[in-house]
Amino acid sequence: MTTDGDQDELAGLLRDLRDGRVEARDRLIELVHDELRAIAGALMRSERRGHSLQPTALLSEAWLRLFGDRVPEWNDRRHFFAVAASTMRRVLVDHARERAAEKRGAGWHRLSLDSAGGGAVSGPQDVDVLALHQALERLQELHERQARVIELRWFGGLTLEEAAEELQVSSWTVKQDWLVGRAWLERELTRTDVPPSD
Protein backbone atom coordinates (compact mmCIF):
# COMPACT_ATOMS: atom_id res chain seq x y z
CA MET A 1 0.00 0.00 0.00
CA THR A 2 1.28 3.45 -0.83
CA THR A 3 2.21 5.77 2.05
CA ASP A 4 0.91 9.34 2.47
CA GLY A 5 4.14 10.63 0.93
CA ASP A 6 3.76 8.21 -1.97
CA GLN A 7 0.16 9.36 -2.44
CA ASP A 8 1.30 12.97 -2.64
CA GLU A 9 3.97 11.99 -5.16
CA LEU A 10 1.43 9.95 -7.09
CA ALA A 11 -0.91 12.94 -7.29
CA GLY A 12 1.96 15.06 -8.62
CA LEU A 13 2.91 12.42 -11.19
CA LEU A 14 -0.68 12.18 -12.40
CA ARG A 15 -0.74 15.99 -12.82
CA ASP A 16 2.57 15.82 -14.70
CA LEU A 17 1.17 13.18 -17.05
CA ARG A 18 -1.95 15.27 -17.71
CA ASP A 19 0.37 18.18 -18.49
CA GLY A 20 2.19 16.05 -21.06
CA ARG A 21 5.35 15.24 -19.09
CA VAL A 22 5.83 11.69 -20.32
CA GLU A 23 8.90 11.16 -18.12
CA ALA A 24 6.51 10.99 -15.16
CA ARG A 25 5.23 7.68 -16.51
CA ASP A 26 8.34 5.74 -15.51
CA ARG A 27 8.24 7.00 -11.93
CA LEU A 28 4.48 6.33 -11.76
CA ILE A 29 5.05 2.74 -12.87
CA GLU A 30 7.78 2.33 -10.27
CA LEU A 31 5.63 3.84 -7.52
CA VAL A 32 2.47 1.74 -8.04
CA HIS A 33 4.02 -1.42 -9.49
CA ASP A 34 4.00 -3.44 -6.27
CA GLU A 35 0.40 -2.57 -5.44
CA LEU A 36 -0.84 -3.35 -8.95
CA ARG A 37 1.27 -6.52 -9.01
CA ALA A 38 -0.42 -7.63 -5.78
CA ILE A 39 -3.85 -7.04 -7.33
CA ALA A 40 -2.85 -8.92 -10.48
CA GLY A 41 -1.46 -11.74 -8.34
CA ALA A 42 -4.71 -12.00 -6.36
CA LEU A 43 -6.70 -12.12 -9.58
CA MET A 44 -4.45 -14.77 -11.09
CA ARG A 45 -4.46 -16.92 -7.92
CA SER A 46 -8.20 -17.18 -8.34
CA GLU A 47 -7.87 -18.37 -11.93
CA ARG A 48 -7.63 -22.04 -12.90
CA ARG A 49 -4.33 -23.85 -12.44
CA GLY A 50 -2.05 -23.85 -15.45
CA HIS A 51 -3.50 -20.58 -16.74
CA SER A 52 -1.37 -19.34 -19.62
CA LEU A 53 -1.53 -15.72 -18.43
CA GLN A 54 0.72 -14.97 -15.45
CA PRO A 55 0.42 -11.95 -13.09
CA THR A 56 3.41 -10.23 -14.72
CA ALA A 57 1.86 -10.66 -18.17
CA LEU A 58 -1.51 -9.41 -16.91
CA LEU A 59 0.15 -6.34 -15.44
CA SER A 60 2.28 -5.74 -18.56
CA GLU A 61 -0.77 -5.90 -20.82
CA ALA A 62 -2.66 -3.60 -18.46
CA TRP A 63 0.24 -1.08 -18.58
CA LEU A 64 0.19 -1.14 -22.38
CA ARG A 65 -3.53 -0.47 -22.42
CA LEU A 66 -3.38 2.15 -19.67
CA PHE A 67 -0.81 4.25 -21.50
CA GLY A 68 -1.78 3.34 -25.07
CA ASP A 69 -1.73 6.04 -27.70
CA ARG A 70 -3.34 8.79 -25.66
CA VAL A 71 -2.26 10.88 -22.71
CA PRO A 72 -3.93 9.47 -19.58
CA GLU A 73 -6.10 11.87 -17.63
CA TRP A 74 -6.38 10.30 -14.19
CA ASN A 75 -7.61 12.67 -11.48
CA ASP A 76 -6.13 11.01 -8.40
CA ARG A 77 -5.03 7.71 -6.88
CA ARG A 78 -8.57 6.31 -6.63
CA HIS A 79 -9.32 7.23 -10.23
CA PHE A 80 -6.07 5.68 -11.41
CA PHE A 81 -6.74 2.39 -9.58
CA ALA A 82 -10.36 2.38 -10.79
CA VAL A 83 -9.17 2.66 -14.40
CA ALA A 84 -6.50 0.02 -13.73
CA ALA A 85 -9.20 -2.29 -12.33
CA SER A 86 -11.33 -1.90 -15.45
CA THR A 87 -8.30 -2.47 -17.62
CA MET A 88 -7.25 -5.67 -15.84
CA ARG A 89 -10.83 -6.93 -16.12
CA ARG A 90 -10.78 -6.31 -19.87
CA VAL A 91 -7.41 -8.07 -20.22
CA LEU A 92 -8.73 -11.17 -18.41
CA VAL A 93 -11.94 -11.20 -20.46
CA ASP A 94 -10.09 -10.72 -23.75
CA HIS A 95 -7.66 -13.50 -22.81
CA ALA A 96 -10.54 -15.84 -21.93
CA ARG A 97 -12.25 -15.06 -25.24
CA GLU A 98 -9.07 -15.78 -27.18
CA ARG A 99 -8.63 -19.10 -25.39
CA ALA A 100 -12.28 -19.98 -25.99
CA ALA A 101 -11.86 -19.26 -29.67
CA GLU A 102 -8.83 -21.57 -29.81
CA LYS A 103 -10.63 -24.55 -28.39
CA ARG A 104 -14.20 -25.17 -27.31
CA GLY A 105 -14.40 -25.05 -23.52
CA ALA A 106 -11.06 -23.31 -23.13
CA GLY A 107 -12.84 -20.14 -21.99
CA TRP A 108 -13.82 -21.79 -18.72
CA HIS A 109 -11.51 -19.84 -16.43
CA ARG A 110 -12.40 -20.11 -12.78
CA LEU A 111 -12.31 -17.11 -10.50
CA SER A 112 -13.08 -17.05 -6.81
CA LEU A 113 -15.34 -14.26 -5.64
CA ASP A 114 -13.72 -14.68 -2.21
CA SER A 115 -10.20 -13.95 -3.40
CA ALA A 116 -10.34 -10.26 -4.13
CA GLY A 117 -12.08 -7.10 -3.09
CA GLY A 118 -11.49 -7.66 0.60
CA GLY A 119 -14.79 -9.32 1.39
CA ALA A 120 -15.95 -12.83 2.13
CA VAL A 121 -18.64 -14.20 -0.13
CA SER A 122 -21.15 -16.90 0.62
CA GLY A 123 -22.47 -19.09 -2.15
CA PRO A 124 -20.56 -20.17 -5.23
CA GLN A 125 -16.81 -19.88 -4.85
CA ASP A 126 -15.70 -20.21 -8.47
CA VAL A 127 -17.07 -18.65 -11.62
CA ASP A 128 -16.17 -18.48 -15.28
CA VAL A 129 -14.48 -15.16 -16.10
CA LEU A 130 -16.62 -14.79 -19.24
CA ALA A 131 -19.80 -15.60 -17.31
CA LEU A 132 -18.77 -13.07 -14.66
CA HIS A 133 -18.13 -10.43 -17.33
CA GLN A 134 -21.53 -11.07 -18.94
CA ALA A 135 -23.27 -11.03 -15.57
CA LEU A 136 -21.56 -7.73 -14.68
CA GLU A 137 -22.78 -6.27 -17.96
CA ARG A 138 -26.35 -7.36 -17.14
CA LEU A 139 -26.01 -5.93 -13.63
CA GLN A 140 -24.74 -2.67 -15.11
CA GLU A 141 -27.95 -2.39 -17.15
CA LEU A 142 -30.03 -2.91 -14.00
CA HIS A 143 -27.92 -1.06 -11.45
CA GLU A 144 -24.83 0.67 -12.78
CA ARG A 145 -23.42 1.67 -9.40
CA GLN A 146 -23.63 -1.88 -8.00
CA ALA A 147 -21.72 -3.17 -11.02
CA ARG A 148 -19.13 -0.43 -10.59
CA VAL A 149 -18.70 -1.27 -6.89
CA ILE A 150 -18.13 -4.94 -7.75
CA GLU A 151 -15.55 -3.95 -10.38
CA LEU A 152 -13.73 -1.50 -8.11
CA ARG A 153 -13.55 -3.89 -5.17
CA TRP A 154 -13.11 -7.21 -6.97
CA PHE A 155 -10.85 -6.22 -9.83
CA GLY A 156 -9.31 -3.10 -8.32
CA GLY A 157 -8.93 -4.21 -4.73
CA LEU A 158 -10.35 -0.92 -3.41
CA THR A 159 -11.69 -0.82 0.13
CA LEU A 160 -15.28 0.20 0.84
CA GLU A 161 -14.05 3.67 1.76
CA GLU A 162 -11.92 4.07 -1.38
CA ALA A 163 -14.78 2.90 -3.60
CA ALA A 164 -17.11 5.35 -1.81
CA GLU A 165 -14.71 8.21 -2.49
CA GLU A 166 -14.34 7.19 -6.14
CA LEU A 167 -18.12 7.00 -6.62
CA GLN A 168 -18.78 10.03 -4.40
CA VAL A 169 -21.28 8.21 -2.20
CA SER A 170 -21.22 7.08 1.44
CA SER A 171 -19.39 3.98 2.64
CA TRP A 172 -22.76 2.63 3.80
CA THR A 173 -24.13 2.96 0.26
CA VAL A 174 -21.11 1.16 -1.18
CA LYS A 175 -21.45 -1.60 1.43
CA GLN A 176 -25.11 -2.09 0.49
CA ASP A 177 -24.27 -2.06 -3.23
CA TRP A 178 -21.46 -4.57 -2.58
CA LEU A 179 -23.73 -6.95 -0.65
CA VAL A 180 -26.72 -6.68 -2.98
CA GLY A 181 -24.65 -6.70 -6.18
CA ARG A 182 -22.61 -9.68 -5.04
CA ALA A 183 -25.75 -11.63 -4.08
CA TRP A 184 -27.28 -10.81 -7.48
CA LEU A 185 -24.11 -11.99 -9.26
CA GLU A 186 -24.00 -15.21 -7.26
CA ARG A 187 -27.62 -15.95 -8.18
CA GLU A 188 -26.98 -15.19 -11.84
CA LEU A 189 -23.81 -17.26 -11.96
CA THR A 190 -25.46 -20.30 -10.39
CA ARG A 191 -28.08 -20.19 -13.16
CA THR A 192 -25.36 -20.59 -15.77
CA ASP A 193 -24.73 -24.12 -16.97
CA VAL A 194 -21.27 -25.25 -15.95
CA PRO A 195 -19.25 -26.39 -18.96
CA PRO A 196 -17.52 -29.74 -18.79
CA SER A 197 -14.15 -29.75 -17.05
CA ASP A 198 -10.95 -30.30 -19.04
- Residue 133: the pLDDT is 81
- The four Cα atoms 2, 85, 107, 68 give a dihedral, to 10 degrees, of -100
- Residue 103: the pLDDT is 56
The stretch 154-177 carries a mean pLDDT of 86
- pLDDT above 70 coverage of the chain, percent: 72
pLDDT digits (tens, 9 = 90+) for 81-131: 888 888 888 888 888 777 766 654 444 444 455 544 444 332 334 557 777
Cα 29 to chain centroid, rounded: 17
Confidence tier at 195 by pLDDT (50, 70, 90): very low
Other CB atoms within 10 Å distance of the CB of residue 125: 14
In this prediction the pTM is: 0.57
Cα 50 from Cα 110, distance rounded (Å) = 11
Q: Does residue 43 contact residue 88 with C-beta atoms inside 8 Å?
A: yes
